Amino acid sequence: MIDSTSTISDTGGGQGQTSNKNINPFIRPRILLTGLRRSGKTSIQRVIFTKMQPSQTQFLESTSHLTLNQFSCGSFINFQVQELPGQLQIYASGLNSGNGGNNGQASSYDDDSMTSIIGGNYDLERLLKRCNAVVYIIDAQDDYSESITRLNTIIQKGRRINPRIRYEIFIHKVDQLSEETKIETQRDIHNQVRDRFSDPIGGMEPWSPISPMSNSSSPEILINFHLTSIYDHSIFEAFSKVIQKLIPEFSHLERLLNYLLSTSNIEQAFLFDVQTKISIATDSSPTDMQMYELCCDMIDLLINMSEIYGQPNEDGSQRTTDDDDDDDEDYFNDDSDHNQGHEWNIVTQNEEYDENNIQLNGSRKSSFVNSPLGTTPIANHQQTTLLETTSEPASAVFDSMSSSVIKLTGGRALYLKEINRHLALICILREEALTKQALIDYNVRQLKKSIIKLFRLNYQVSRRNVSSSHLVE
């Protein structure tokens, strides 16, 4: 079993249930994606969200502005990724620097009072205050000492401003490293970060490992490390873990999957977003990386086979054949006003910092694939929310008829079933368990109904919340 994630904290290797409770289900969680120049930030987004071939990423131009990508998958995965380009330098905020001569010059990142403003007039404090997770990319093939210095600065600032931030450190580009070097690099980076926070700084509490029971008001720092590469599935697995911690329904989904396992003789179950191959939930057993990869391959196989031999619905709507599907199905399949399929929305939401410096990433196809960078600057001092959406519908061939069973050598099997047009359940089980496939099918249908109800409930509450906030306005 391979697990590319390690953690400083006791909770990091798990699914982060504690942090999900802090996520307001009505606010789109924000991920601040940052790291030094050329560390691989844009490549990661393109490979995961636009299906760009990893080899194509070498032609990407450097990102020069803060960009905001909003991702939606039906009503399930909703989050924003703010990419803070590596070329931006952190500058002295000026007034309280205690080093007057340093104004306007790049700081050493070490003095907390000196690191408020990032070159280009972005306010790091504000970005940290508003984000739920920082994904920090370290290029493992490069000398990473400067990168760690910068990371430590961000953590130091973040723990003062927003102690609930989760730091997900991607030790990236490990595809060129031997297994031994990977482990050594991870240990080295882990130690350098831990050592930095083992001493009290500026009156703050020292670094202390967190436990699942940790008090939300504690100053403990939530840090996870992931070994990643865009050239294999590790980047999907790592990003899945980041997303799972931000999905408010995650613990409910996990419980439902655990229940399915216990009733159906299944070894492991994943809920996959079909387009991105992000796993939005798993049962609570540790993830088997090789099985995870096989599940991703199974999705590709199913979609490819269906595209060749399947019959896409002419009207794009989903066929419903399950006898006992009820009205809940309509909620999932109704794209009228909320289930807009996969979207890369172009959004700024009344950002208070200098908005003319924000660049907006557009749709998966038109912006990212057809144009070199696909970013569009918005007008200066934009006051209203900009929302330009180009939706890419979920696969036309993935519908309620989509299901598959693949028997593997070694006595195991993979079982795939559509949950809705965005989500697939994939189970790993012993081949013998398939002798009771009717039971599994039945249980999966019950699971599907429960998931639909769960999201419908959340959707209704969020809608009510939105309309009442309009009334207040």
Ligand X SMILES: Nc1nc2c(ncn2[C@@H]2O[C@H](COP(=O)(O)OP(=O)(O)OP(=O)(O)O)[C@@H](O)[C@H]2O)c(=O)[nH]1
Of the candidate residues 3, 112, 175, 288, the single one contacting ligand X (CB under 6 A): 175
Give the Å distances, CA to CA, from 364 to 46, 279, 342, 343, 393.
8, 19, 9, 7, 11
**Residue span binding ligand X (CB under 6 A) among the ranges 16-24, 80-88, 251-259, 318-326:** 80-88
Place of tokens 């990661």: 44
Of the candidate residues 42, 50, 82, 367, the single one contacting ligand X (CB under 6 A): 42
Contact flag: residue 181 with ligand X (CB under 6 A): no
Specify the 3-state DSSP secondary structure of 10.
coil
Distance in Å, CB of 47 to ligand X, minimum: 8
Phi-psi region of 67 (alpha: psi -120 to 50; beta: other; left: phi over 0): beta
Contact flag: residue 430 with ligand X (CB under 6 A): no
- CA dihedral 81→84→90→92, nearest 10 degrees, is -60
Distance in Å, CB of 154 to ligand X, minimum: 15
Distance in Å, CB of 87 to ligand X, minimum: 5
* CB neighbour list of residue 365: distance below 8 Å, 6 or more residues apart: 50, 390, 392
Whose Cβ is closer to ligand X: residue 45's or residue 318's? 45
Whose Cβ is closer to ligand X: residue 61's or residue 180's? 61
Place of tokens 């996959």: 272
Total residues at interface with ligand X (CB under 6 A)? 23
- Cα angle 208-214-216, degrees, rounded to a multiple of 5: 105
Whose Cβ is closer to ligand X: residue 360's or residue 433's? 360
Write out the two tokens for 342: 């996969």
Whose Cβ is closer to ligand X: residue 38's or residue 126's? 38
Phi-psi region of 265 (alpha: psi -120 to 50; beta: other; left: phi over 0): left
Whose Cβ is closer to ligand X: residue 62's or residue 218's? 62
Tell me how far apart the alpha carbons of residues 96 and 73 are, in angstroms, rounded to a whole number: 44
Write out the two tokens for 440: 């599994």
Tell me how far apart the alpha carbons of residues 28 and 348 are, in angstroms, rounded to a whole number: 13
Is 442 within 8 Å of 346 (Cβ atoms)?
no
Whose Cβ is closer to ligand X: residue 100's or residue 372's? 372
Of the candidate residues 3, 26, 27, 87, the single one contacting ligand X (CB under 6 A): 87
Distance in Å, CB of 75 to ligand X, minimum: 30
Is 342 within 8 Å of 394 (Cβ atoms)?
yes
Contact flag: residue 231 with ligand X (CB under 6 A): yes
Write out the two tokens for 12: 């990091």
Whose Cβ is closer to ligand X: residue 59's or residue 309's? 59
Whose Cβ is closer to ligand X: residue 16's or residue 35's? 35
Of the candidate residues 24, 103, 176, 349, the single one contacting ligand X (CB under 6 A): 176
Contact flag: residue 62 with ligand X (CB under 6 A): yes
Distance in Å, CB of 367 to ligand X, minimum: 15
Of the candidate residues 172, 241, 417, 422, the single one contacting ligand X (CB under 6 A): 172
Contact flag: residue 412 with ligand X (CB under 6 A): no
Contact flag: residue 58 with ligand X (CB under 6 A): yes
**Residue span binding ligand X (CB under 6 A) among the ranges 6-14, 41-49, 118-126, 353-361:** 41-49
Tell me how far apart the alpha carbons of residues 158 and 164 are, in angstroms, rounded to a whole number: 9
Of the candidate residues 2, 6, 26, 57, the single one contacting ligand X (CB under 6 A): 57
Contact flag: residue 53 with ligand X (CB under 6 A): no
Whose Cβ is closer to ligand X: residue 41's or residue 159's? 41
Per-residue mark of binding to ligand X, 201-230 (x: CB under 6 A):
----------------------------xx
Distance in Å, CB of 69 to ligand X, minimum: 12
Contact flag: residue 173 with ligand X (CB under 6 A): yes
Q: φ and ψ at 274, to 5 degrees? A: -65, -40
Is 395 within 8 Å of 274 (Cβ atoms)?
yes
Nearest to 169 by CA among 134, 207, 120: 134
Contacts 24+ apart (CB under 8 A), 399-404: 399/313, 399/318, 399/319, 400/318, 400/319, 400/320, 400/321, 400/322, 400/325, 400/329, 401/319, 401/321, 402/302, 402/306, 404/298, 404/301, 404/302
Whose Cβ is closer to ligand X: residue 161's or residue 373's? 373
Distance in Å, CB of 393 to ligand X, minimum: 27
Is 349 within 8 Å of 385 (Cβ atoms)?
yes
Contact flag: residue 345 with ligand X (CB under 6 A): no
Whose Cβ is closer to ligand X: residue 230's or residue 429's? 230
Distance in Å, CB of 45 to ligand X, minimum: 8
Whose Cβ is closer to ligand X: residue 238's or residue 298's? 238
Give the Å distances, CA to CA, from 387 to 225, 258, 304, 463.
34, 38, 32, 18
Binding site for ligand X (CB under 6 A): 35, 37-43, 57-58, 60, 62-63, 85-87, 172-173, 175-176, 229-231
